[in-house]
Amino acid sequence: MSLAEPAAAPVMPDLAAVKQRQQATWAAGNYSAVGTTLQIVGEELAEALDLMPGERVLDVAAGNGNATLAAARRFCHVTSTDYVAAWLADGKRRAEAEGLPVAFEEADAENLPYADGAFDVVTSTFGVMFTADQERAARELARVTRSGGRLGFANWTPQGFIGALFKTIGRHVPPPAGVRAPSEWGTDTRLATLFAGTAHAIRTERKVFVFRYPSAAAWIDSWREIYGPMAKAFQALDAAGQEALRADLIALAEGASRSNRAMVVPGEYLEAVVTRA
């Protein structure tokens, strides 16, 4: 009789190193060129949160400011934060162009430099979901939200187009072992776990943002230059690997497109409003 092999110990990732690589990945592209197309998501989130004039709003991992601008347009007192300074500069230019008063501050979602309960509302659109330490980020967001305040999120779902995009990239360039998938933030069960003990209520709705490009090839040619995760994936591969990744991405986009004249792809995301206990 043979003894059973001992169970392998779970992989414990170096989250600090993962975060450093993530920051370099996002800074490698020009996310603002992508983020600007997502403005409607910030507007819809602002309505779901029922933002009121004068409320103190913190936008975390704000990118170039979709939720930031939406809140400022509703006469809120907005602080926009990210750990990529160039994106904040882009957001500041957008706010200044509209004459919107916004404070822009470099900050890490996992270590926010604000007092407990400092804000009435905390938002993040396709931002905080990419943090290395999901539990720590959720605790920080809840900490700086006052009791009775709201947290609002827009997160890509695992089964949606962006979830499929990251799975496709992962088959060619595997993600760090032991790190939770960002798209878990796009599930009700994960949100319930992340905000257990700090949420009075969580309300979610599945929504769709439609990606529109002249063709799948045009989308890839654009995103491999401006979207950090895709840019880094292509850079990590040799010529043959790049061609294989490109072929799989074209198949993904064309298979998901609802048009045969252009790339018109519905991208599912989860809109969530968390009421702070």
pLDDT digits (tens, 9 = 90+) for 208-249: 999 999 999 999 999 999 999 999 999 999 999 999 999 999
Burial of 244: CB neighbours in 10 Å, binned 0-12, 13-18, 19+:
middle
Within-domain flag for 220: no
Within-domain flag for 33: yes
Burial of 136: CB neighbours in 10 Å, binned 0-12, 13-18, 19+:
middle
Predicted confidence at residue 11, as pLDDT, reads 62
Within-domain flag for 244: no
pLDDT of 155 > 70? The answer is yes
Q: Helices H, strands E: what count in the chain?
A: 11, 7
- 59: nearest Cα among 175, 144, 171: 144
What SS3 state is found at 32?
Answer: helix
| Beta partners for residue 153, in sequence order | 124, 272
Mean pLDDT, rounded, for 27-50: 94
Predicted confidence at residue 148, as pLDDT, reads 98
Within-domain flag for 20: yes
AA identity, residue 233:
A
pTM, to two decimals: 0.93
Within-domain flag for 253: no
Distance of CA 238 to the CA centre of its chain: 28
H helices present in the chain, as ranges = 15-28, 31-35, 39-48, 66-72, 85-98, 134-143, 161-172, 188-194, 216-226, 228-235, 239-256
Give residue 28's pLDDT band: very low, low, confident or very high (50, 70, 90).
confident
Within-domain flag for 21: yes
Within-domain flag for 170: no
pLDDT of 9 > 60? The answer is no
Within-domain flag for 166: no
- 112: nearest Cα among 149, 155, 78, 141: 141
CB 242 within 8 A of CB 234: yes
Predicted confidence at residue 269, as pLDDT, reads 98
The CATH number for 89's domain is 3.40.50.150
Give residue 2's pLDDT band: very low, low, confident or very high (50, 70, 90).
very low
Domains held by the chain: number: 1
- 130: nearest Cα among 199, 69, 92, 176: 176
Give residue 16's pLDDT band: very low, low, confident or very high (50, 70, 90).
confident
User: Which residues constitute the domain of residue 56?
Assistant: 15-156+176-208+268-276
